Structure 1
Amino acid sequence: MAKSIAGPEIERLIQLLAKLPGLGPRSARRATLQLVKRREQLLAPLAAAMATAVETVKVCSTCGNIDTRDPCTICADASRDHSVVIVVEDVADLWALERAKALNAAYHVLGGVLSPLEGIGPDELTIRQLVERIAGGGVKELILAVNATVEGQTTAHYIMDQLAGMDVRITRLAHGVPVGGELDYLDEGTLAAAMRSRTAM
């Protein structure tokens, strides 16, 4: 193991940054150096913003989005069509669809996809809450906007099975989303086209 050349506080910062998606140890070291070099412009405001986030960020009890209020801004928006619910795997997918302004509807965040190999079953996701939400009435259409992966499609079929017999139209994203593609990496035009071209399952 390489000997540490920085103090324990700096090493701790590097280790924490390295846990973020897209940042390995080398990128984390570079980011840490920039933060420390620009302490007043970057590090102090970032630390303050993160402290505020710890205190104020909540998970929406209705849809699973993250916001500083519960219900979240989207769920509390009376101008949205709450009879249409878009089911996504993660909050990043919700944000991607919002950036695309694809549809002014409500959402439901699953928190992942079914993956037996990784030990993720229905109880680890918010599928039960989704079924209860549909059973409660008021939802006319459910759009399964999950990624076009094997796990995503397995999850979509499981949800369809759970909703069998309920009075809700179930659709999925259509053309524009490539097989194996992930929503968060697609451009807004592709996402908007896929939403407009959704088809029944």
Structure 2
Amino acid sequence: MSSNRDIDALIDMMAKLPGLGPRSARRAVLHLIRKRELRMTPLADLMHTVAATARECGNCGNIGTEDICDICTSEKRANGMICVVEDVADLWAMERSGVFKGRYHVLGGTLSALDHVGPDELRIPHLLNRIEAEDVTEVILALNATVDGQTTAHYIADQLDGRVRLTSLAQGVPIGGELDYLDDGTITAALNARKTL
């Protein structure tokens, strides 16, 4: 089996990616090998390019190929709104929706006393500086509805109290969701955030 050492190493590496286990990784690698010219070679070239050019935006924390991302440099997005998210994946999810037209701020995680993550380990001080520098009028807290996410939201709200308008994403029943499948916390949030019809 020593002749398969590189292939086995590739499968092991692929299995470490989110959403892939050993079996999925084997199927993906086998597909790539069978479609070497069409899939594997272009993928390897792109991975090499992205590894050399990808960087974190010095302003918001997004991932792109420039020092300052397209969202931060767009004058159309300088509308006084900043949406605060935990991670780049959250920013990309918001962008996929195509609804938000302001700018973002990626914290890089959430406050966690157990993990020794305080405000200075996150990009909270930079957020406070941006609010002054960019003439921000509204901060939208789009943090996950976890204990750490809500703790982080409360901390930021305390820091910004009275400086800007603070809002958060609505929480509750998802579109197409059935009450029977929802947890108690989601039902409580949905009931508390009810609106007049």
Which range, TM-score by smaller chain? 0.7 to 0.9
1:190 aligned partner: none
% identical equivalent positions: 55
Alpha-carbon distance change, 6 to 160 in structure 1, aligned in 2, over 3 angstroms: farther
- Within 1, Cα distance between the matches of 2:76 and 2:101? 8
- Within 2, Cα distance between the matches of 1:177 and 1:153? 18
More helix by percentage? 2
2:70 aligned partner: 73
Provide Cα deviations, 1:122-167, integer angstroms capped at 9, x if missing partner. 23321121122124351111100111121111110111223345x2
TM-score using structure 2 length: 0.80
- Long gaps (5+) in structure 2: 175-192
**Higher radius of gyration, 1 or 2:** 2
Q: Does 1:30 align with 2:27?
A: yes
- Aligned partners of 1:148 and 1:177 also within 8 Å: no
**Relative contact order: is structure 1 or structure 2 higher (C-alpha 8 Å, sep ≥ 6)?**
1
Secondary structure of the structure 1 residue equivalent to 2:135 = coil
1:116 aligned partner: 113
2:53 aligned partner: 56
Deviates further, 86-95 or 9-18: 9-18
- Long gaps (5+) in structure 1: 179-196
Deviation at 1:50, TM superposition (A): 0.4
2:151 aligned partner: 154
Total equivalences in the alignment:
175
Alpha-carbon distance change, 43 to 137 in structure 1, aligned in 2, over 3 angstroms: closer
AA of the residue aligned to 2:140: I
Secondary structure of the structure 1 residue equivalent to 2:104 = strand
Pairwise CA RMSD of aligned residues? 2.1
Q: Does 1:145 align with 2:142?
A: yes
- Within 1, Cα distance between the matches of 2:173 and 2:61? 23
